[in-house]
Amino acid sequence: MDFDRRRFVLGSGAVVGSATVGTTMGSVVTAPAAQAAGTAMPLVDRAGRPDWKAVRNEFRLDPSWTHLAAFLLTSHPRTVRRSIDRYRDLMDENPCWIWENHEAETARVRASLAGYIGGRPGDIALTPNTTVGIGLVYNSLRIRPGQELFITEHDHPVHQCTVRLVAKKYGAVVREGKLYDDPAQATEAQAVERLRSAIGPRTRTVGVTWVHSSTGVKLPIPAIADVVAQANRGRAEDDRCVLIVDGLHGFGIEDADAARLGGDFFISGTHKWLFGPRGTGFVWGRADAWQQLSPVISSTFPKHDLDSVTTPADVSPGAYFAFEHTFSVPAAVEFHQQLGRAGIQNRIHGLSRQFKEEVAKIPGVTLRTPLDAAMSSGMTCFEVAGVEHAAVVERLAERRIRASVAAYRVHYPRVGTGIVNFPEEIDRTVAAIRDIARGR
């Protein structure tokens, strides 16, 4: 989102613009002369270790705020901004450039994403966001009346709504389940066993989310994939249980190949934790899984034989789109690869653990996200006794700290610790929450 998909409540308070990067919460994040001159500083040292201040300076985020809701919609880093500008200039100067280069540039985007997720370029369809990707997969899947579509109550409302709309269209049955009761105590064993019990002989789809943005719980997708694989033994192709993974809030954080997690389809936007161009996303599917689909919307170059085997290119929405944004996805991938997936994961998980451990010590504050890094990622949810969830976010905003509340049945206050953040920002946020809990 795409704001429609990830609706949120932000606290009040005017954002003060700044042309330079200055002092933030007592720690100085200095904009070097190179940034003012428009040149990038080295992001890693000779040993390959990221320089997190240099990384932060790649973004135009207002330094007078602590940005713990930046996952909602990315601020573009310098390299992505430059790439977008370059493609826009090319098309402004020669609009026909797009038709001379469309195929090669699209192939480059797919190859870039494939390299990042450990898959093949030919197994990727390009979309403008996660919502469209989810809609394309479910609506394209061959579903018979009476088959069951399983979804959990932890998934995003858009995912849930898509399942219900598709079930209504095909005469299928929606089954909704819970993989855990108390998110802070969620375990792999509990999630796996509950899913095993939920899958029946008529289950056609299992829709799950890698990281729940309503609770911060990270699901063990490989273990879940094993359960689905066991349920598929002996099934005919059109009765296979298809595992559909919304990977949005793990993609760009977790040091894991999304294409090797075990799902049939992995769907994500790139404009969150990957810092990709706004309005870009993708669907990766196993080669044989694509053959389960029948496209519902024309691609840019539609095929004449509509009965031939479906490919990702057939499912990708066609015609005109924001070319300069889509073609700049590789710039975001390269930015991440320069820092290294392991370094990014360690940084985000480290800040997340710092926040969780400290906020859990505050009387009157309840942590709603597991402490275990195996069951959590970069997002942490909590609540303050006696204070409305939206009010917590508003009071943090009064202290110039950006947090958010998701539009779910469960809508805890939440923070996202990203690579643009620093330990002292976490300390300041914890102190602010402590004051709120004390009624200050």
Domain range 87-335, CATH class: alpha beta
Q: Which numeric CATH code is attached to 8-71+341-437?
A: 3.90.1150.10
Global model pTM greater than 0.85: yes
Contacts for 101-106: CB closer than 8 Å, 24+ residues apart: 102/300, 102/323, 105/323, 105/327, 106/326, 106/327
Measured in residues, the chain has a length of: 440
- pLDDT attached to residue 39: 53
CATH 3.90.1150.10 placement within the chain: 8-71+341-437
- pLDDT attached to residue 310: 80
Q: Identify the segments of the chain with pLDDT beneath 70.
A: 1-40, 303-307, 309
- pLDDT attached to residue 40: 60
b (16+ CB within 10 A) / e for 51-78: ebbbbbbbbbbbbebbbbbbbbbbbbbb
Extract the runs of DSSP E, i.e. beta strands, from 13-69.
23-24, 27-28, 66-67
- pLDDT attached to residue 138: 97
CATH 3.40.640.10 placement within the chain: 87-335
- pLDDT attached to residue 19: 30
